[in-house]
Chain A
Amino acid sequence: MYSAEISRMNPTCFLFLVDHSTSMQNPIMGIAGNPKKSEFVADALNKVIQSLVVSASKDMEIRKYYQVGVIGYGFEVKTALGGELANSDLVWIDEIYENPLRIEDRVKKESDGVGGFIEVSTKFPVWVDAVSRGQTPMCAALNKAHEILATWVEEHPQSYPPTVINLTDGEANDGDARVPAELIKSLATEDGNCTILTVHSSSNELSRQIVFPMDVKDMPDHFSRVMFEVSSPLTPKMRATSEELMGTSLEEGAHGLVYNADIAGIVQALEIGTRPANIQL
């Protein structure tokens, strides 16, 4: 299971659910000077989409290895992709490449090879903007994801199963998120069930970050226990990637949840969830 090769014949799907509630305008960890959660999450998501485009790039073309969707949930529940992509829940990765909202000029630091850093100007494609307006209709977003993915798994029975990554800072205020999450997790291809990863960003400086917990008893309160139960156990490949990135091994059963994630936690969780599962060498 979770070993199907990702190819044009058998593509996979990444569906991001992004909390657009008003509280996302608070700084990460509640620390003044940290970026706003909504802005940091949008930036991290744009970088992840860029990585997916690069990984699907082969010679001069972008191969249809992935379909990608971004569902925002706040004052409305709808795709967060804009422009030409605004009418589709799932978009092929080559269409994503061709249709950014804009390409920004940014400056990033790179090693100068002799122990220092140099500033290098770089192009930064933007597909999603930061939004923070409304409540947290997480159940509606999960239900929409279920609707999209139910069709997808039927159409791609031999593919590596879809990965849902839910980026949020709060509790669903439209019901019990475990109910639609179970529906998603019950969807499957021949290669395994759909997986849900949850990246919860904190507003509290004193909150303890909990990374890929093994047991629901590790969680401090009711809300975090719900988030644990919404999330899937990590696949073997995700555990291997997290070991590579974080240097600590995870046992089978570790759940795809980073609770009270700090900046590094958000970035690592996104990479672990989206590192292409099995493109053969």
Chain B
Amino acid sequence: MKLVWKAFSLCKEGNREEENEDAVYPHLVNGSSLIADQFSCAMADGATTSSFSKLWANLLVKESSQSRAASVDFNQAIIAARASWKAALPDKELPWPTAIKVRQGAFATLMWFHIWQKNGVYPLNTLPPDHGWTANAVGDTCLFQVVKGKFVSTFPFTQAKDFSNTPDLISTNIAYTRSRAGSISGKWQRGDHFLIATDALSEWMIRKLESGTLTWALVSENLTSLVRFQTWIRYLRRQSLIKNDDTSLICLTVDV
């Protein structure tokens, strides 16, 4: 199986790029070709209201993407990320407001995507055993499958009205229980594209799908370079077509 990887991001207007709280894993060069029996990637969107959301989002994507064992388990990845959390915090006394925020917890969405071919490793209880893919998600970071140039499925959200300012999130604080995880599996064929996008862009894409105006050409022409992607997102923001938020996209193509 040959995969072509692209990933782009643009921070919220008014923020500095280092404040971008979207996280993607792995970190690969755009246009990289990968030949593998299986591959995992993940995207997370750290919540603005919590502290160290970027750190938490990065732990979540790293732990979930690295779960390549046959027993790969979404919840195990979250537990592993929580186990790494305290050690990842700054190694000095925190100011009192920061300490309170840390006790309240850091929050992020998570989308984990895994694809495999025959002989590849895939999660237990997931079908089909070859040429398959599966995704697990908490929150409003969405996955889109494009088959033969047509958007055929979205996950976990399917309607623009599903988006709100209070998505489900995964927290470092285990007392927080609004973390309903959804999962989906399917088959792939050569030439398919899988897109993963944080909420601002996902909402726009689903709205365009609802109006029947989302085409693969419209999206793909803006994925030729980081500059092109960022110009596109800035244009959509200026036109008030998407909200001003950190915006990220992964495009994974099963190469022909």
Say which residue of A8, A53, A278 sits within 8 Å of B14 (CB atoms).
A8
Assess A97 versus B98: contact at CB under 8 Å? Given A57-B51, A281-B47.
Answer: no
Are B97 and A279 interface neighbours, CB within 8 A? no
**Residues on B with beta carbons closer than 8 Å to the beta carbon of A58:** 51
Interface residues of B in 234-256 (CB under 8 A from A): 243-245
Q: Which residues of A contact B101 (CB under 8 A)?
A: 54, 57
> Is A143 engaged at the interface, CB distance under 8 Å to the other chain?
no
Residue of A nearest to B100 (CB): A54
- A123 is an interface residue with CB less than 8 A from chain B: yes
Query: Any chain B CB within 8 A of the CB of A7?
Result: yes
CA distance A125 to B95 in the complex (A): 12
B243 — nearest CB in chain A belongs to which residue?
Answer: A280
Q: Which of B117-125, B165-173, B208-216, B224-232 contacts A (4 or more CB under 8 A)?
A: B165-173
A234–B195 Cα distance when bound, in Å, is: 42
Question: Which A residues touch B14, using CB under 8 A?
Answer: 7-9
A60-B48 contact in complex given A281-B165, A281-B166, C-beta closer than 8 Å: no
Report whether over half of chain B's contact residues are helix, strand or loop; otherwise say mixed: loop
**A281 contacts which of B48, B90, B100, B244 (Cβ < 8 Å)?**
B48
Known contacts A7-B14, A60-B90: A280-B48 contact under CB 8 Å: yes
* A104 within 8 A of partner (CB): no
| B residues 18-57 touching A (CB-CB < 8 Å) | 47-49, 51-52
Q: Does A25 contact B (CB under 8 A)?
A: no
Nearest CB in chain B to that of A94: its residue: B97
Cβ-based interface call for B94 (8 A): yes
Give the number of chain A interface residues (Cβ < 8 Å): 21
Q: List residues of A (1-27) whose CB comes within 8 Å of B's CBs.
A: 5, 7-9
**Residues A218-243 near B (CB distance < 8 A):** none
Contacts of A276 in B (CB 8 A): 49
CB contacts (< 8 Å) of A55 on chain B: these are 49
Complex alpha-carbon distance, A279 and B245, angstroms: 11
Are the CB atoms of A60 and B96 closer together than 8 Å? no
**How many residues from B make CB contacts under 8 Å with A?**
22
Q: Which residues of A contact B94 (CB under 8 A)?
A: 60
> Are A54 and B97 neighbours in the complex by a CB distance under 8 Å?
yes
With A8-B14, A53-B97, A54-B97: A59-B47 Cβ-Cβ less than 8 Å: no
| Chain A CB within 10 A, most for which of B47, B94, B96 | B96
B95 touching A60, Cβ below 8 Å: yes
Decide: A278 and B165 in contact? CB cutoff 8 A. yes
Find chain B residues with CB under 8 A from A125 CB.
Answer: 96
Q: Is the CB of B49 within 8 A of A279?
A: yes
Contacts of A59 in B (CB 8 A): 51-52, 98
Indicate if A214 sits at the interface (CB-CB under 8 A): no
Task: Please give me the residue from chain A that is nearest to B199 by CB atom.
Answer: A281
Whether a CB of chain B sits under 8 angstroms from the CB of A62 is yes
CB contacts under 8 Å to A, within B58-76, are none
Q: How far is the CB of B139 from chain A (nearest CB, A)?
A: 9
CB distance from A146 to the nearest CB of B (A): 30
By a CB distance below 8 angstroms, the chain A residues around B49 are 55, 276, 279, 281
Question: What sequence of 0s and 1s flags, for each residue 141-174 of chain B, a beta carbon within 8 Å of any chain A beta carbon?
Answer: 0000000000000000000000001110100000
Instruction: Enumerate chain A residues within 8 angstroms of B167, measured Cβ to Cβ.
Output: 281
Give chain B nearest CB distance to A63 CB in angstroms: 10
Q: Supply 27 A–B pairs (Cβ within 8 Å), ascending by A.
A: A9-B14, A53-B97, A54-B97, A54-B100, A55-B49, A57-B51, A57-B95, A57-B98, A57-B100, A57-B101, A58-B51, A59-B52, A59-B98, A60-B90, A60-B94, A60-B98, A97-B95, A97-B97, A125-B96, A278-B165, A279-B48, A280-B165, A280-B243, A280-B245, A281-B49, A281-B167, A281-B169
> B residues near A, CB below 8 A?
14, 47-49, 51-52, 90, 94-98, 100-101, 107, 165-167, 169, 243-245
Across chains A and B, which 10 residue pairs bring their CB atoms closest together, nearest first?
A57-B97, A9-B14, A54-B97, A281-B47, A54-B100, A53-B97, A59-B51, A57-B101, A279-B49, A280-B48
